[in-house]
Structure 1
Amino acid sequence: MKVLTHLAYFGVVILLASMVPAGFLGNPGGAQTTILVVGFLGAWRYSWAFLNFTRAIIFRRLVYPRWKARRQRQFDAAAQPSHCYFMVTTYLVKIDVTLTVYRSIFRAAAAARDGATIVASVVDGKDARLIRDIFDQMPCDMTGVKLVIDRIQSKGKRDAMAKALRILKSFAPSHRDVLVFVDGDTVVPENIWAASAPVFTDENVGALTTDEGALIDKPGLYKDWFHLRFDQRQVMMCSMGLANRVLTLTGRMSVFRASLATNEGFIEGVESDYLNHWRLKRVDFLTGDDKSTWYWLLSNGYETAYLPDVKSLSYEEQPRDTFLDSAKTLMVRWFGNMMRTNGRAIRLGPRRCGFFTWWSILDQRVSMFTTLVGPISVAVTAVAGTPSVIPLYIAWVLMTRYVFCAYIALFRGHWFPITHPPVLYFGQVVGAMVKTFVFYRLDRQKWTRQGSGAVEVLPAGERIKRMESFAMHTLAICWLVMAIMLVNTIE
């Protein structure tokens, strides 16, 4: 059945290509300028993708195995204790998910050679009792594991993290100890301490993150989209791993040097991070704690490693009724966190960030506009009287995204459903649109499962800010369209 769907996919591509009139590409009236523009930008973007693909292979196949073995030898030779701390935040998580997640955390804690301490931050008393019951009923030896349950008022994840980190600070962790940040819906690999502790023999490493997978029961586009995102993430993270500086320390599960994560400056950065914007003034960060921790380490000169062979699994629920609404909701949060942080990261400069890392951060800003040039150029050309460019462009998109998905699948070691190529294009174009939206609205924040963020009844000053944001966003898109129209007039 999979073979038939892929053959049908190529049949659609051939059908679309056959709709293009003979001699269209060589005809001066056949939108040659649009084809050249799309082709030039495509070549640029594909060369960037090829560079990251190449770096990912070098890291995964050549560099990482040697790097891992060297760190393990150094760790074994040092023969020093390394305690494993866990900080877990649980809010509005289903009971069956809590059962699975905390059992995985307790197994990982019991497997830590030099003991473990867990601080679980919860809001609901029922969660506190459930977690204690899970701990007491674990079938493995838990004598070396200490559990602290911190029940707090619901003031947001950042406040919960800060309180939990200050509790952990009271244990005075050393620079050899590790601290695992875990969301309450993420299953932790049992070997997380064994895989992580040797990495911190390098004094320059402040934290690490790992591969991720999604646990989604309901089949459909939402599941395919998430799996594709994590497959893409593995490639990009491996590329960044070559520089030993990743672009984010995912909040689902990342591991920190415990002495740094309990540094008061680090805790304050998590608790009350903010951005001073020239128009929006002070923007306090609600979401994006993973970007705050990443930026603190980056700005203080620490490296961040990637472990491609260690994998956490997170439970993902579709937050809205439809795939489109769900994807938009999540992308607004994700890309808002990205845009609020990458501007100040760019200002650190390539010397502090490392050139490739700095260039990758800069590319996040540039690509949100260049990605839109292709579809806008085709739309302008079609409206101007050359609709034949549409099937040609769709065929081009389907073929190039198929090639991308094939490479990602080969890198991952499993094939892909036929929905992945169009879903990849959707993520690129709609993602770029969302990035431009949040770029001009950095003050708009909201958790997916919480009723926090901007209120509906706004004071006059906030309404003016929103009108300014709308005007500037509209003006930027109009300039982009006008530039494309001007280029299309060139013969």
Structure 2
Amino acid sequence: MTLPGHILYLLAIAALALCVPNSPFDNYSGALITVGTIGLWRYGWAATNIVRAMYYQKVAYPRRRAAAEAEYQRRGKRNHAFFLVTTYKIPAEISARVYRSVFEAAYRAKGGASVIASIVDESDRRLIRQVMTSVMAEQGAGAPAVHLQIDKIPGTGKRDALATSLRSIAALNPGRDDVILLVDGDSCVPVDVVDRSIPFFTDPAVGAVTTDERSETQGSRLFRDWFELRFAQRHVMMSSMSLSERVLTLTGRMSVFRASLATETGFIDMVRNDYIDHWRLGRVQFLTGDDKSTWFWLLKRGYKMLYLPDLLTTAIETQPKPGFFQSAGVLMIRWFGNMLRTNGRALRLGPSRIGSFTWWSILDQAVSIWTTLAGPASVLLAAVFVSAWILPVYLSWVMLTRYVACTIIMGARGRSFPISYPFLLYFSQIGGAFIKSFVLFRLDRQKWTRQTTEGRGAAQGIAQRWRAAGSTHMHALAVGWLVLGIAYIGGLI
């Protein structure tokens, strides 16, 4: 259902709006004005990022690419590329596709390439060598040599795997402008990724770049739609942030780093052993979120981090749980935990050090938790204490604004969208905000989707149980103050 579904959707919006009698909300005007003001701020912020993204994609980025490639050609030197691929508990058919893409890209690299594979299972060693032999045979007799090194480690987590193999690369003495591509074991890289990303490193201030992504999702239709929408939103936000030359994350699926930086002892140590000291939770050791650690290390030292929208990495996603909502919840807890554990220290760097727009964007990620929840909380209070007619008004407004947002977001992709997208967008916004509020008070709770590595705030001992109770208390208190504030503004108390 494509066009008929959209027509029915728009008719439903009109029907909901027209069924409401003359406004019964006069006694609640204060809250409506407040929520409207918050809404204007949120929509204004979204519009700002959309305009910035369009300018970056159409004007700024083509100029940057042309200048970078011209400088690279002028130098005449071809830099070496190191592919670091981490593989753990990934189906053989996916690993074969990923390593095929890596070896094809490695053989296309004009400055030569090395592949460092970090594995846990011995069966992966055989698979990797088979794929390399197959790709090498396809290249013919004149193919350049590609160095393969396999690092076998215990299954102690991705951070250990990255640190071990980064030390292996450091031992190979990479040049200043050589690059390291950190590749997840379920992500296929573009075949021309090396020669199209290396020119940007002619600017000595560039520390890393990351690429556009598309999802190849194995799971329910709703789960596939959700991932495709998230990647479309990512495309807009990454483009907007890259205009200020600092993206907000260096995606762990595939990002390219300056080798001389990624092999520094401090960089490797942060990947291996990152943490924050929390006033209530104590020392929180990072188990997940290596992409946030690498990002913060470069951000703190003032390096540029760019987005390349014309290179497309394919992420092969699998649904971690049987149900859509259960799967989305598990993933969002991990994603938002990584974000919130790092954002506080990034804010403390200050706008003068990381740029005003970057600093404000990080601050907005924290503030938007509560501004996003303010809307539905205000509507629910009005429905209970003033008039239930506010529910169809709010529903029609949500349906309209999310439909417009999806039209703009997918328009940037040059694609149409199924009518499930507006509902998924609203779910991501409201459900995501509540999950962020949950994680904000439980920063010590971490778990990988595939790995058994896990950190919990409430497992053993009196101290752990006390911290868990404190987290629940503070979360409930924060939500309670939000509701009381909205009720006060609305004149209900």
TM-score normalised by the shorter chain: which range applies? over 0.9
What do the CA deviations read for 1:196-235 (whole angstroms, capped 9, x no partner)?
A: 1100000000000000111024451111110000000000
The corresponding residue for 2:119 is: 122
Aligned to 1:270: 271
- Residue 484 of structure 2 aligns with which residue? 482
Q: Which residue of 2 aligns with 1:51?
A: 48
State the AA in 2 paired with 1:387.
Answer: A
Offset of 1:180 from its aligned partner? Answer: 0.3
Q: Structure 1 regions of 5+ residues with no counterpart?
A: none
Tell me the equivalent position of 2:245: 244
SS across alignment from 1:312:
strand
1:113 aligns with 2:114: no
User: Scaled by the length of structure 2, what TM-score is found?
Assistant: 0.97
Greater shift, 382-391 or 331-340, is seen at 382-391
Alpha carbons of 1:4 and 1:351: their partners in 2 closer, same or farther (altered >3 Å)? same
Taking the aligned partners of 1:37 and 1:177, their CA distance within structure 2 comes to: 52
- The superposition leaves residues 374-403 of structure 1 with CA deviations (integer Å, 9 ceiling, x where unpaired) of 000000111103100000000000000011
CA displacement 1:356-390 (0-9 Å, x = unmatched): 00000000000001000000000011110310000
Shift of 1:452: 2.1
Distance in 2, matches of 1:466 and 1:218, equals 33
Give deviations 1:55-108, integer Å, cap 9, x for gaps: 001100011101100000000001113001110000010011011110000000
Aligned twin of 1:401 = 402
Query: In the alignment, is the contact (CA less than 8 A) between 1:83 and 1:177 conserved in 2?
Result: yes
Once the two structures are TM-superposed, the CA of residue 159 in structure 1 deviates from its matched residue by: 0.5
**Counterparts of 1:451 and 1:98, CA distance in 2:** 20
User: Identity across aligned pairs (percent)?
Assistant: 48
* Change in 2 beyond 3 A, CA 1:218/1:320: closer
CA distance in 2, matches of 1:351, 1:454: 35
2:15 maps to 15
Query: What RMSD in Å do the two structures reach over aligned CA positions?
Result: 1.3
Q: Which residue, 62, 67, 70 being the options, matches 1:70?
A: 67
Kindly tell me the number of residue pairs found equivalent between the two proteins: 488
Q: 1:323 Cα shift?
A: 0.6
Question: Within 1, Cα distance between the matches of 2:297 and 2:349?
Answer: 11
CA distance in structure 1 between the partners assigned to 2:30 and 2:397 by the alignment: 16
Q: Is the 8 A contact 1:33 1:490 kept in 2?
A: no
Q: Secondary structure at the match of 1:348?
A: coil
Q: Secondary structure at the match of 2:83?
A: strand
Distance 2:402 2:30 in 1: 23
Secondary structure at 1:276 match in 2: strand
Amino acid at match of 1:158: R
Deviations 1:3-56 (A, max 9, x none): 1000010111112112211x216x624x32332222111100000011001100
Distance 1:218 1:478 in 2: 37
User: Which residue of the partner structure matches residue 226 of structure 2?
Assistant: 225
Alignment partner, residue 304 of structure 1: 305
- Kept after mapping to 2: 8 A contact 1:34/1:378: no
Q: TM-score, normalised by structure 1?
A: 0.98
Aligned equivalents of 1:355, 1:470: Cα separation in 2: 34
Question: Does the aligned pair in 2 maintain the 1:206–1:303 contact within 8 Å?
Answer: yes
- Which deviates more, 8-17 or 432-441? 8-17
Question: Paired residue for 2:420?
Answer: 419
Query: Does the C-alpha gap of structure 1 residues 219 and 465 become closer, same or farther in structure 2, counting only changes over 3 Å?
Result: closer
Contact persistence 1:81–1:176 (CA under 8 A): no
Q: Give the Cα–Cα distance (whole angstroms) in 1 for the partners of residues 370 and 423 of structure 2.
A: 20
**What is aligned with 1:444?**
445
- SS of 1:286's partner is coil
**Matching residue of 2:339:** 338
Q: Which amino acid aligns with 1:228?
A: L
Matches of 1:172 and 1:340 in 2, distance apart? 33
Q: Distance in 2 between matches of 1:66 and 1:269?
A: 34
1:466 aligned partner, one-letter code: A
| Gaps in structure 2 of 5+ consecutive residues | none
